Amino acid sequence: MKFSFTLIILTLFGNYQLSAQSLQGRVVEAKTQEGIPFVTVQLGTNYGVISNDEGYFILQRRATDEETPLIFSSMGFESIEIPLGDFENNQVIELSPATYELDEVLLFDKALTAEEVLEKFNANKKENHQLENSKVQVFARYNDEYKAETFGIDVKKASFLSRSERKEMNKNMEDLGEKIQENPSKSYRERLIDIYAFEDTLVNEYQKALDLINREKTFNTDDIQDQVFYELLKSLKSPNSFKVKTGIIPLDRDLSLNDVIEDMENEKFKIPDTIFNKNTWTSKGYKRKATRFENDFFTSPKYYTYELVGVTKAYGEPCYHIKFKPDRRKGKYVGDLYIHTQDFGIISYKYDLEEGKKAMNVNLKFVLGIKANTFVDSGFLIFSRTDEKAYYPKYIKQTDGSYAYVNRSLSFKENNQKRKERKQLKLVFELEYNLLETSEYVGVQYESITPDLIDSLSTKEYTLIDEVETYDANYWKNYNIIEATEAIKRYE
């Protein structure tokens, strides 16, 4: 009995100690008391998080002096600092609109135009925005929302199936299509990654990975298509090649399906609940956003008009505020740039498609049975300056919305001299869907590293992906993340 009582006391004390390490609260606008999204919450220069869409944040306290300031900065608001010792958990922090005078920051004999500011940004971006010899811990959250309008696969001919078997398969495909169309799909993925960036090499090291997904309600159309085609094609294994056509168009007159089927088998039977750490697409995307500004409002200024609104405070830094919009037919985006008044690094920028425009639009519905467009393409980025005055992405939010329609026939005929033994397959598939994908990245911690560290790095080959059907507040306890929104907490 004494042991049990002692254990309970130690457990309670331990939980108190752990919870005391988390600094959490909400940032609101002083006048309206509404939550302010995307506020940077910094403890020191290179360590911090960002508030979520509702203004809530959570940051793990590190061993530091009680006088160390906790700094809250946002777009168009005065930054405030609270000594760590004075911060109370679940505190509400109020920010007031910033006021700033242009003549306080002008370093030139004359005021610069918007085009001149942009030119200076381009001239200095290679020096300002680089990610070599650095380690950044990044928390990433992805949200996919998928709605199928049509999902149908009709097997017209299959030499390896009897008539009744083919009829049963088509009935199963019809039932599956109805189920998919009736249930919009929504899921979340969360990852904590250490990204090591060297001069010519990137190394990923995943710390934790979580999928929040209800398999009964969520359908991945790509996975379903792969499964259906695998079940159909695996019966076409043959020492002979195949003629392949889509519609009336021959694709290949001498295609070996064995290699295709083997690839599908390898994909089908790979371990589904792990991440391959050597796959660096996440870190490549993060580095590209950090160092390369590829949007056409950066690369093709002739397609846009730029307006210098004035000087404002953006995340505690004095910035030129520039608005842009399309000037010619090729321009598609509207948005804002916030460029530092001293070194002309980007502090923040945001963009969205101009109303009525699409990032991509292909309509061959009546010719090839294909139609696709990108109707949402928006981004919001915040950059932070390191002690070495280099910029790295503190926060990235990218939203892509796409529509696709495909109605095609696909046929396979074996090149077998024995006509009666030829394997044949013909099917028609019709797909129509809308997909909205949102990606968020927060650079939690930045530190400089030496080039020779690459020789001593040793990472696990795979990292386990944990999967849950409902939100668990304890999963990311003691880790730095973007605080979960109400939509995530209510997910089921």
Q: Do both 396 and 460 map to the same domain?
A: yes
Q: Answer whether 273's CB lies under 8 Å from 467's CB.
A: yes
Residue 10, pLDDT score:
34
Which of 422, 405, 372, 369 has its CA nearest to residue 248?
A: 369
Q: Do both 145 and 57 map to the same domain?
A: no
Sign of the torsion formed by the C-alpha atoms of 278, 281, 282 and 286: positive
Residue 2, pLDDT score:
34
> What are the beta bridge partners of residue 406?
370, 431
For tokens 């405030």, the residue is 80
Residue 390, domain member (yes or no): yes
Which of 426, 410, 418 has its CA nearest to residue 239?
A: 418
Residue 112, domain member (yes or no): no
Residue 297, pLDDT score:
96
What is the extent of the structural domain holding 441?
134-479
Q: Do both 185 and 63 map to the same domain?
A: no
> What are the beta bridge partners of residue 402?
374, 435
Q: Answer whether 77's CB lies under 8 Å from 97's CB.
A: yes
Residue 137, pLDDT score:
96
What are φ and ψ of residue 76, in 5° steps? 75, 10
For the chain, what is the HEC assignment? CHHHHHHHHHHHHHHHHHHCCEEEEEEEECCCCCECCCCEEEECCCEEEECCCCCEEEEECCCCCCCCEEEEECECECCEEEEHHHCCCCEEEEECECCCCHHHCCCCCCCCCHHHHHHHHHHHHHHHCCCCCEEEEEEEEEEEEEEEEEEEEEEEEECCCCHHHHHHHHHHHHHHHHHHHHCCEEEEEEEEEEEEECCCCEEEEEEEEEEECCCCCCCCHHHHHHHHHHHHHHHHCCCCCEEEEECCEEEEEEECHHHHHHHHHHHHCCCCCEEECCCCHHHHHHHHHHHCCCCHHHHCHHHEEEEEEEEEEECCEEEEEEEEEECCCCCCEEEEEEEECCCCCEEEEEEEECCCCCCEEEEECCCCCEEEEEEEEEEEEEEEECCCCCEEEEEEEEEEEEEEEEEEEEEEEECCCCHHHCCEEEEEEEEEEEEEEEEEEEEEEEEECCHHHHHCCCCCCEEECEEECCCCCCCCCCCCCCCCCHHHHCCC
Residue 369, pLDDT score:
83
Residue 20, pLDDT score:
45
Cα–Cα distance, 321 to 304 (Å, whole number):
16
Burial (CB count within 10 angstroms: exposed 0-12, middle 13-18, buried 19+), residue 419: exposed
Residue 50, domain member (yes or no): yes
Residue 62, domain member (yes or no): yes
Amino acid at 11: T
Residue 9, pLDDT score:
34
Q: Express each pLDDT in 274-311 by its tens digit.
A: 888 777 888 888 999 999 999 999 999 999 999 999 98
Strand 317-326 to strand 304-314: parallel, antiparallel, or no bridges (unpaired)?
A: antiparallel
Sequence-separated (6 or more) residues with CB below 8 Å from residue 287? 131, 195, 197, 202
> CA end-to-end span of the chain, whole Å?
40
Q: Do both 164 and 285 map to the same domain?
A: yes
Q: Do both 94 and 150 map to the same domain?
A: no
Counted domains in the chain:
2
Q: Do both 70 and 217 map to the same domain?
A: no
Domain boundary (99, 121, 156) is at 99
What are φ and ψ of residue 100, in 5° steps? -150, 140
Supply the angle between the helices 221-233 and 163-182 in degrees, to the nearest 10. Answer: 170
Domain boundary (80, 99, 118) is at 99
Residue 469, domain member (yes or no): yes
Domain boundary (99, 126, 160) is at 99
Q: Do both 40 and 141 map to the same domain?
A: no
Q: Express each pLDDT in 74-106 by its tens digit.
A: 988 999 999 998 999 899 999 998 765 544 555
For the chain, list residues with pLDDT below 50. Answer: 1-20, 102-103, 109, 271
Strand 304-314 to strand 466-468: parallel, antiparallel, or no bridges (unpaired)?
A: unpaired
Structure tokens at 436: 């909205």
Amino acid at 464: L
Q: Answer whether 96's CB lies under 8 Å from 30's CB.
A: yes
> What are the beta bridge partners of residue 438?
143, 399
Residue 328, pLDDT score:
78
Q: Do both 62 and 173 map to the same domain?
A: no
Residue 487, domain member (yes or no): no
Q: Do both 42 and 173 map to the same domain?
A: no
Q: Do both 80 and 150 map to the same domain?
A: no
Structure tokens at 1: 């009995």
What's the residue count for the chain? 492
Q: Do both 364 and 311 map to the same domain?
A: yes
Residue 122, domain member (yes or no): no
Q: Do both 215 and 71 map to the same domain?
A: no
Residue 488, domain member (yes or no): no
Cα–Cα distance, 469 to 27 (Å, whole number):
30
CATH number reported for the structural domain that contains residue 88 in this entry:
2.60.40.1120
Burial (CB count within 10 angstroms: exposed 0-12, middle 13-18, buried 19+), residue 333: buried
Residue 220, pLDDT score:
65
Which of 139, 208, 266, 279 has its CA nearest to residue 468?
A: 208
Q: Express each pLDDT in 426-472 by its tens digit.
A: 999 898 999 999 999 999 999 999 999 988 888 888 889 999 999 99
